[in-house]
Structure 1
Amino acid sequence: MQELLCFSAGSNEERNQLETCYNTTSLPQDRDQSDTSSRVIDLCTERDQLQKERDQCRKNMNQLKRMRGQLQSERDQLQSERDQLQSERDQLLKERDQLQSERDQLLKKRDQLQSERDQLLKERDQLLKERDQLQSERDQLLKERDQLQSERDQLQSERDQSEKTDDKIQLQERNNALTKDRDMLRDRVSVLTNEKVALEKRLSVSEQNICPKMCNCCPEGWRLLGSSCYFLSTQRKTWEESRLDCMNRGANLMIINSEEERRFLCGLNKIVWIGLTDSVTGRTRKWMRGTPLTTASYWRSGGPYGGGVENCVVVRYWSSGYREGWNYQCSYTQFWMCEKGLL
């Protein structure tokens, strides 16, 4: 019993206690005592080894527990990041689908605008072709009219010189025929002129419809008329300063080419410099591009020369309601009108 009690003790001094127990116990036979003592020592040695292994296992277990907790924490963090990435992925997919839908709509709108632009370009080209054809016909009719007028003048001269009645009658009949032809040609010219004006109006409307779809036609503050942009100043300068201002804007002082431009100026109710001057020759008025003025319809009655130093031209509004050209000294300050082609 004492031997069993000693063996059950779990302190570090168990070996010594067991040896003491065996030394103090009286057994009948020494050989049996020696074998038992040796066995107890072996058991104690095994026990110590097992305790060491147990402690190592506990240490390993604690380390594994810590690693498990760390791995669980990392797992939770990775799951959280995964959920966040999945949410971001879903949001990006949604945005991608929305952008694809917007892109499809924009492509559809672009194709529609391109189709409209192509149609308007076809209409413009057709109108330009018709206008050119009418202008060619008008020029031909004007040429024929001038020829007929020349023949008529010649016949009138021959008629005046003729003293014989037969010659006078013949000349009168010929003159009447030529007069009839002239009147018919005038009517034809009038019809063609009206058609040309109508085509120019249609062309202007078409260009105004085409322009906003193709480009920013005129800069801000400029006005669109036909195929040109116009800028009216808000201050007064000399003719040369006005010309330089227009050049700085990529334009020139306005050149009047059509009745539509004259009507456009008439609605301004201002005195404005235009691109017409006789400062080089003194008597021959020329436009900015160097071509001479071929009509006096821009001038009010009385002539353009006032006897002073009047070399530059304005278009002004008279009390009669008409806007007519008149020479001014280039050093005077007036408003001005710039003109340039569409962008």
Structure 2
Amino acid sequence: MRMEKAVIFLYLCIVFSAKRCSYSYRALGSRCYYFSTDTATWDEAYVNCIHKGGYLANLETLDEYLTMRYKLAGMKNGQNYSIGGRDFNRQVKDGDWRWVKASQNSKMAYFAFGPAEPTGTKGSPELCIWLHASYQYQFIDIPCTTVARYICEK
């Protein structure tokens, strides 16, 4: 009987969380995400997400990041994704990384950069973040003009 209640509770959580996300967005954890199939630069992706009623994904907690990383690994498509992380000051050693959402931004509370990342320099700035498939969806810093798929959140 206890197992049946747990299964029913889990089913209801999935049903209700799925219903709260509007079309093209999918529930993942307590958030709603859109996974693009087209590619864009970071700035284009930022605008595309606004047009879709959201913003580039801000994985503000380690829990959100690990949930997203697990989801992307399960998709097994080998694609890289732009998310809403950006370096606001390349003059600072290792950068001033923040989550960008509409007209606000917040300092990153954790870093999940891949090996030897971030690698941008003053002469070769890499100010935007991807979740990189080759690094099991750890962060890499890339030039903001590089195209990739992107993840929107709302």
TM-score range, shorter chain: 0.7 to 0.9
Match of 1:207 in 2: 13
Deviations 1:63-111 (A, max 9, x none): xxxxxxxxxxxxxxxxxxxxxxxxxxxxxxxxxxxxxxxxxxxxxxxxx
Q: CA deviation at 1:334?
A: 0.9
Q: Find out whether 1:314 has 2:121 as its counterpart.
A: no
1:201-280 counterparts in 2 under 5 A?
Answer: 206-211=12-17, 216-256=19-59, 257=61, 258=63, 259-268=66-75, 269-278=78-87, 280=88
Query: CA separation in 1, counterparts of 2:84 and 2:147?
Result: 15
Counterparts in 2 of 1:277 and 1:328: CA distance versus 1, 3 Å? same
Deviations 1:31-75 (A, max 9, x none): xxxxxxxxxxxxxxxxxxxxxxxxxxxxxxxxxxxxxxxxxxxxx
Counterparts in 2 of 1:211 and 1:324: CA distance versus 1, 3 Å? closer
Q: Percent identity?
A: 23
Unaligned ranges ≥5, structure 2: 1-8
Question: Whose helix proportion is higher, 1 or 2?
Answer: 1
Q: CA deviation at 1:249?
A: 1.0
Unaligned ranges ≥5, structure 1: 1-202
Q: CA deviation at 1:310?
A: 0.5
Counterparts in 2 of 1:306 and 1:260: CA distance versus 1, 3 Å? same
Q: Find out whether 1:285 has 2:105 as its counterpart.
A: no
Q: CA deviation at 1:302?
A: 0.9
Q: Which residue identity lines up with residue 99 of structure 2 in the other structure?
A: W
Q: Find out whether 1:299 has 2:113 as its counterpart.
A: yes
Match of 2:141 in 1: 327
Question: Whose strand proportion is higher, 1 or 2?
Answer: 2
Match of 1:157 in 2: none
Q: Secondary structure at the match of 1:291?
A: strand
RMSD between superposed Cα atoms in Å: 2.3
Q: Which residue identity lines up with residue 106 of structure 2 in the other structure?
A: T
Per the normalisation by structure 2, the TM-score is 0.74
Per the normalisation by structure 1, the TM-score is 0.35
1:1-343 counterparts in 2 under 5 A?
Answer: 206-211=12-17, 216-256=19-59, 257=61, 258=63, 259-268=66-75, 269-278=78-87, 280-282=88-90, 283-289=95-101, 290-296=105-111, 298-307=112-121, 308-318=124-134, 322-340=136-154
Select the structure of larger CA radius of gyration.
1
Query: CA separation in 2, counterparts of 1:337 and 1:211?
Result: 18
Q: Which residue identity lines up with residue 235 of structure 1 in the other structure?
A: D
Q: CA deviation at 1:204?
A: 7.3
Query: CA separation in 1, counterparts of 2:20 and 2:131?
Result: 26
Counterparts in 2 of 1:303 and 1:210: CA distance versus 1, 3 Å? closer
Q: CA deviation at 1:329?
A: 0.6
